[in-house]
Homo-oligomer: A and B are copies of this chain.
Amino acid sequence: MKVDGKHIRSIWLEPDGWTVSAIDQRLLPHDFVVARLTTCDAAADAIRSMLVRGAPLIGATAAYGMALARRADSSDAALDRAYQKLIATRPTAINLKWALDEMRRLLRPLPPPQRTAAAYARAGDIAEEDIAINQGIGRHGLALIEAIAASKKPGERVNVLTHCNAGWLATVDWGTATAPIYLAHERGHNIHVWVDETRPRNQGASLTAWELGHHGVPHTVIPDNTGGHLMQHGMVDLVITGTDRVTANGDVCNKIGTYLKALAAQDNGVPFYVALPSPTIDFSVDDGIAEIPIEQRGAEEVTDMTGRTADGRIETVRIVPAGSPVANYAFDVTPARLVTGLITERGVLKADRAALAAAFPERTADAAE
């Protein structure tokens, strides 16, 4: 989508044919800096440090990381080392494992001299497939937005609430939760987005607000605490979030706090949708609350806040008293019963085992193997 009026993606291959470039998302919204990734280690660090983040973008970055590793050393041992290095970066990200498995399955049977070119080609295809998937999500989600718009006065605004950043920055382009929003905006619908700040890392305030602003989509940043009040007062027409992992029975693992918005949506009769590319579905897991381990991240994400001072310096300030312990669970699980529908590239599905299995028969056959 657009930055300063120009179309850009979150990750791309440089014209040299091997250097991978990615937006350094840690510096947003204050500075727009492109990082050049030239080794597998750099790709792994980019994932671990959240230079890149978002399940689909992590998958694409990992695929490019496997390609960068091949360029340095095409042996089987190096292939395994790269796989292990990359998979260890973010244990909750199912797309990461999917992309790495895909790359290893492709590369392992090839003679080592052919592996580098094949790896770059497949990584590029994974990026293009992500865009195509998101465009599919956009079309199916657009129909939901248009149905709501049709129930309103002509031109009356449609209010979407979103949590975290499942925007184009979290993917290669278009985003998942934002694809229907960008498409509705481009079709001329009067759409407005309530952007949850998304503590502790502020991905909503720093990334979603930044990308919507650059693309010209009307939006308002709100503290995470606000959504329930807005829904009580009819100020939210639908919720669309992304997800890091959906289980076989439709439970949704997503950024911490998503569950609270789903509860508020249910309590106020607001439809709660989750947008996802199908690789995000993990058919090997059933009960999300019982089975998905929730990553705990560093205390400094909660205690410290980085931003720009009035005179332009980037500073990090501590907001919690010294000596107060902190807990930082990165994700929570929204039970399928709270999810109105899953917006996938194959349509809007009921969040249950039968609907997911029917829409992705080839994946459930995989899981049964």
Is A198 at the interface (CB under 8 A from chain B)? yes
- The answer to whether residues A256 and B226 also contact, given A197-B302, A219-B325, A318-B307 and a CB cut-off of 8 A, is yes
Q: How far is the CA of A198 from the CA of B289 in the complex (A)?
A: 25
Asked whether, in the complex, the Cβ of A229 is within 8 Å of the Cβ of B256, the reply is yes
- The answer to whether residues A309 and B317 also contact, given A225-B224, A259-B229, A260-B260 and a CB cut-off of 8 A, is yes
Is A227 at the interface (CB under 8 A from chain B)? yes
Is A328 at the interface (CB under 8 A from chain B)? yes
- The answer to whether residues A319 and B199 also contact, given A228-B257, A332-B228 and a CB cut-off of 8 A, is no
Asked whether, in the complex, the Cβ of B321 is within 8 Å of the Cβ of A213, the reply is yes
Which residue from B226, B317, B324, B325 sits with its C-beta under 8 Å from A317? B317
* A contact face: mostly helix, strand, loop, or mixed: mixed
Select from chain B the residue with minimum beta-carbon distance to A265: B263
Asked whether, in the complex, the Cβ of B228 is within 8 Å of the Cβ of A321, the reply is no
Q: How far is the CA of A209 from the CA of B322 in the complex (A)?
A: 10
Q: How far is the CA of A195 from the CA of B199 in the complex (A)?
A: 14
- The answer to whether residues A324 and B259 also contact, given A317-B307, A317-B317 and a CB cut-off of 8 A, is no
Asked whether, in the complex, the Cβ of B225 is within 8 Å of the Cβ of A260, the reply is yes
Which residue from B209, B220, B289, B306 sits with its C-beta under 8 Å from A321? B209
Asked whether, in the complex, the Cβ of A229 is within 8 Å of the Cβ of B307, the reply is no
Residues of B within 8 A of A289 (CB): 232-233
